[in-house]
A and B are shown apart, each in its own frame.
Chain A
Amino acid sequence: MRSHITLDPILKQQLRVIGKADLVLGIPSFNNVTTIAHVVRAAQAGLTKYFPGSRAVLVNSDGGSTDGTQEAVREASVGDSRSILASHPLFPVHRIVTPYHGIPGKGSALRTIFQAAQELEATACAVVDADLRSITPAWMDFLLGPVVHEQFDFVAPLYLRHKYDGTITNSIVYPMTRSLYGLRVRQPIGGDFGLSRKLVSHYLEQDVWDTDVARFGIDIWMSTTAIADGFKVCQAFMGAKIHDAKDPGLQLAQMLQQVMSAFFDLTLAREETWKTIRGSVPVPLFGMEHAVGLEPVKVDQARMTRSFQSGLRDLGAIWSLFLRPEVMRGLQTMGSEPASGFHIPMDLWVRTLHDFALAYREKTIGREHLLQSLTPIYLGQVASFMVQAREADATEAEALLEDLCLAFERLKPEFVDLWERPGRRP
């Protein structure tokens, strides 16, 4: 087993007392006192309601919170469960609060949860974020049900979100993951997943727990590993997702840099898998899709357009080091477009991302600087999408994203061709 960090002795003792479990629900946390009690209550109610005959353990893997998160988990009470439970549970849900060891980050927190699941020989494991405001007991059924009842290995979430939310997922991660690995997993970095025992063991065997995966990028790593290594993947419709800001201290450029470095590292590591894949196929979906009311989102599209145009003016010399001349020319034509009609053609956006991937691989400039220089173009793409989807409802906005995904798939052979000719220069 590659995951060589041993479990905390107290945790080990707690697991020994519990013995075995059927289900493990993991909640990684760090200073989530305002939301975690609700997550624990919903999860515990869900485990009791939907899996009354199963032995379940809730593991909170905490990164040293100083705001009382651990106490909130210990004290969270479901209250009068008769209002939500149809059947009486056979086993109580054990609750464990433990610190994790190793590099600080969500990846290390999840490793502790996976190790606990392995120790308990759990059949299925689910992880949910501690910052969720919209989690309901039914989420336990959505995430664990396909694993327990249908023998799926990986359950990815499918949320209903505002058309302007999740823009990194919509503009980059979903279409690129889909075109590279051929599966239509709509939320590869959703943060809430259901996992089989086999997949948990597979994750723990990977030699990544001392890399950046341990700090950030665990979500895309889990999704990509499950897809690329041929595990049975499905999606579960979770309804709306409302959560706190991931890390208010992080700027957009830093967040984008973290996501893209994790994504491109996987692209490098998995090239033998994705190079031969063409097109994509849908994955089974559990749960009934339905419309829900979503929080309105305030957008400043003009400001995003200005960011793009300012980037074009000031970073053009950097971009021209690695963007193909035709891509560079394409971007330059938008230097003076008014915000109201601002539009980046889909093919141009796809080719731009492909050139960034190639530059990341070839280290044309320092990777940190490379990814930081993506922010203005990304904002331009978001602004362009907002113009296109201004009058669109959720279905029409989704259709626009589908067009983008198809553009990624159509241009994949060109990308593979460039990838196989390292040393190409603009």
Chain B
Amino acid sequence: MINAMLAILEKVWHTFLGKVIFFTPRLMAALVVIAVGIALGLVIRKVSQRILHSGRFDTWVERMGVGLLLRRAGLSLSPGACLSATLFWVILACAAMLSLTAFELPILDRMATEFFLFLPRLAVAILIMGFGFLLAGFLARAALLAAVNAELPAPRVTSTVVRFLVIVLSSAMALEQVGVATAIVSTAFAITFGGLMLGLALAFGLGGRRAAQALLDRGLETKDESSRAVKHF
């Protein structure tokens, strides 16, 4: 009996040794891949920071009106540093996923494959979000200028609503792209957007009748006056 137990223990030991011999080099390889990923990520973060700094990326983002939005979102990093940090973490995530393939386990291989298949969609989603933020900044500023020049009440509210709508729209598109609860996102977006429009219509129709009347009156008054008012040319 003791012999049988020893034989089993020996077998377990051999199995363990076999596993150790099997995994150790793979673990080492995985760690090397992660280490290289970290090093590469740090280098790319540094280089991208310098490129973005020399290209005045932060100033550009400020001019596009996105900087303020990022600060309001609680980001303490500058936009350039934020983008560089994102690049670092994306590279690190890629390295981590790549390192899993070193273990030659089907389940890990499948995970890594799925991750790399997911990457292009993630990139497109990030692009959509980035473009959405820029477009939101541009349109919000355009709406603000138009509202101020037309002497409409609360121009900043108009601008904020425009910005919010564009960001909501681009977020929904980005989430749809990465396939996160597609049905829920679409439905939630439709409900939110429809609800918002209905709410605005009701608010303006019921609560803002006097404001609408005043606005129309002022518009007519402007037209009446234009014939004898100052000629700017």
Contacts and interface: CB of A to CB of B under 8 A. Distances in A.
A104 B69 CA distance: 41
Interface stretch (B37-45, B78-86, B140-148): B140-148
Interface residues of B, number: 26
A311 B148 contact: yes
Contacts of B142: 369
Nearest to A165: B231
Interface stretch (B149-157, B163-171, B179-187): B149-157
Interface in A205-258: 245-246, 248, 251-253, 255-256
Contacts of B231: 165-167, 245, 297
Contact of A252 (B141, B144, B149, B156): B149
A254 B123 CA distance: 39
A253 B151 CA distance: 11
B19 to A, nearest CB: 62
Nearest to B59: A425
A164 interface: yes
A246 B155 contact: no
Given A165-B230, A165-B231, A255-B233, A310 B148 contact: yes
A376 interface: yes
B138 A297 contact: no
A365 B233 CA distance: 26
A375 B232 CA distance: 12
Contacts, number: 79
Contacts of A369: 141-142, 145
A373 B62 contact: no
A281 interface: no
Interface stretch (A31-39, A196-204, A314-322, A399-407): A314-322
Contacts of A299: 229-230
Interface string A282-302: 000000000000011111100
B110 interface: no
A257 to B, nearest CB: 10
A315 B145 contact: yes
B213 interface: no
Interface string A319-350: 00100000000000000000000000000000
A297 B231 CA distance: 9
B230 A189 contact: no
A84 to B, nearest CB: 29
A132 B216 CA distance: 32
Contact of B230 (A248, A315, A382): A382
B232 A252 contact: yes
Contacts of B230: 164-165, 167, 297, 299, 382
A248 B226 contact: yes
A167 B232 CA distance: 5
Contact of A297 (B141, B155, B229): B229
B63 interface: yes
Interface string B91-113: 00000000000000000000000
B72 interface: no
B132 to A, nearest CB: 18
Contacts of B149: 251-253, 372, 375-376
Contact of A314 (B155, B228, B232): B155
Nearest to B153: A310
Interface residues of A, number: 40
A108 B224 CA distance: 32
A364 interface: yes
A151 interface: no
A166 B226 contact: no
A256 B142 CA distance: 16
Contacts of A298: 225, 228-229
A245 B226 contact: yes
A117 B232 CA distance: 31
A168 B231 CA distance: 9
A169 interface: yes
Contacts of B147: 314
A255 B156 CA distance: 24
Interface in A111-168: 164-168
A321 B145 contact: no
B201 interface: no
Most buried by A among B145, B147, B156, B229: B145
B68 interface: yes
B232 to A, nearest CB: 5
Contacts of A314: 144, 147-148, 155-156
A14 interface: no
B148 A166 contact: no
8 contacts: A166-B231, A245-B231, A251-B150, A253-B145, A256-B232, A318-B141, A369-B142, A376-B148
Interface of B: 59, 62-63, 68, 138, 141-142, 144-151, 155-156, 225-233
Given A164-B230, A167-B230, A314-B148, 15 more contacts: A165-B231, A167-B232, A245-B231, A253-B149, A255-B232, A255-B233, A297-B228, A299-B229, A299-B230, A311-B148, A314-B155, A314-B156, A315-B144, A317-B68, A321-B63
